[in-house]
Amino acid sequence: MANPAGRSADSGLAIGERYVIEATVHPDHISSALDGRPANRARQVSPWRDDLQHARQLQKSGDLKNALHLCERLLRRNPAVIELWSATAEVLLELDDVDGSLDCLRQALLIDADDPAIRAALKKIQLQSESRQTPEAEEQANQHFAKGKIAEDHEDYDTAFAHYRQANDLVPVRFDGDAHQRWVDQTCELWTPEFLNARASWGNETTTPIFIVGMPHSGTTLVEQILSAHSQVQACGERTTLGEQITALGNAVGCGTETISTARRCTQADVYEFAQNYLAVPHRTEQRHFTDRMGTNFLHLGWISLCFPEAKILYCQRDLRDVCLSCYFQHSAHQLPYASRLDTLGAYARESVRLMNHWHSVLPGRIINVTYEKLVESPEQEIRRLLQACNLSEEQSCFQSHLKQRSVPTASAGQVVSLPIHKTSQRRWGHYQQHLQPLFKSLGETTRLK
């Protein structure tokens, strides 16, 4: 079996079958883990939780070798912790060691054969392994994306779209639209005014975080840049903390990645701890507020409202035809599994609007809409409205935020961060409308939030 981390067989745990040999879960460990779960969750998870978060940060930054070493060390110390096996499996998968990933999950199933987190991880790994892109296809896709950009810059839109389509056709489809629609259905059924009102006093009333949510390429980066120019706001970018904590809580209460079941089962003490842990993650200096620009948190506005009932929520919206086209024209399918086909793009975007309409209905007055087109047409008026909505004083730097140079790790950074607010990306879809019928059909009449 290959060793993608480049280690000798004796350095740490070897990959694959050696997990079974060297770290097999002892029956005593299994029984003690199950006896103590979830009655004393804090005692069970606290010794390794911080190290696991560090491992995930290393994984996100691309330092897979050190992420794997840390996961291995945690497993040696805590062989009965299911989440550690799952996390190690994810790192191994990124290292293209599918067999090692599956071995980790099999070990986890020895602890609890019915654990929903492991079953979900197994399904995820099987799906990804079946749809992995070969290096040759990856290189061809990159070339077509580059050629598409060149043709578009020369206003040869038909040629540009042909290259973008060829690039995306080389990317395997990893999105289950029906499953996502069912999840949105279940989310709307769970997060009702009655459900939230019964838990209205559970959260932390801090106003420190400002959540900026929305579809990719909807203006979230621009909004964060404007706010972070204020002396009382620190930009923290796309924080993965919220989603990670929902998963961690799900594991603690025995629901794994089933967020619906986790929300039903969590207690007031869980919500209090959730909020405290979110705020405790190192993120800021002396500013009064920080931004969390993880756009996909629009999926979790129920959690945000529950845990932080006084925090500001900014929803960035833009013509979905432009949003979807921007997703389709960038090699982002590894992060956005729905982005490589026009019909799945349209389906995901349509569901995002349906979910946001639900959040507006159950959280009246909580969500501040920020429309990209209005922001670029009337920046001074919209920036002033944005500052007022966030209870921030007017500072001239916010109106000149395009002059503030700052590194922003986002696919759209080159489009807005170093440039003044501009209008060139509006109605971009109009150049390609003869090619976009699958997108239009999937979107239906939905082009933005009503």
pLDDT in tens, 260-279: 999 999 999 999 999 999 99
Please determine, for residue 317, whether its predicted confidence score (pLDDT) is greater than 80: yes
* Secondary structure of residue 61 in the 3-state scheme: helix
Determine the topology of domain 17-130 in CATH.
1.25.40
CA distance 391 to 16: 54
**Average pLDDT score over residue span 152-172:** 94
Q: Give the sign of the dihedral formed by CA 200, CA 202, CA 204, CA 209.
A: negative
Listed range (14-28, 143-157, 187-201, 305-319) with the worst mean pLDDT: 14-28
**Average pLDDT score over residue span 17-21:** 34
Q: How confident is the model at residue 127 (pLDDT cuts 50, 70, 90)?
A: low
CA distance 302 to 265: 14
Residue 413: the pLDDT is: 43
Please determine, for residue 425, whether its predicted confidence score (pLDDT) is greater than 80: no
CA distance 287 to 308: 18
**Average pLDDT score over residue span 357-362:** 97
Residues of the chain above pLDDT 70, percent: 80
**Average pLDDT score over residue span 196-209:** 95
Please determine, for residue 228, whether its predicted confidence score (pLDDT) is greater than 80: yes
Mean pLDDT of all residues in the chain? 82
Residue 6: the pLDDT is: 35
CA distance 239 to 295: 9
- What digits encode the pLDDT tens for the residues 387-416? 999 999 999 999 986 555 444 445 444 444
Q: How confident is the model at residue 255 (pLDDT cuts 50, 70, 90)?
A: confident
Q: Cβ atoms within 10 A of the Cβ of 217, count?
A: 26
Q: How confident is the model at residue 130 (pLDDT cuts 50, 70, 90)?
A: low
Residue 4: the pLDDT is: 32
Which CATH architecture describes the domain 177-443?
A: 3-Layer(aba) Sandwich (3.40)
Please determine, for residue 250, whether its predicted confidence score (pLDDT) is greater than 70: yes
Residues of the chain above pLDDT 90, percent: 52
Higher per-residue pLDDT: 65 or 329? 329
Residue 202: the pLDDT is: 96
Residue 151: the pLDDT is: 96
**Average pLDDT score over residue span 64-73:** 90
How many helices (H) does the chain have, and how many strands (E)? 23, 5
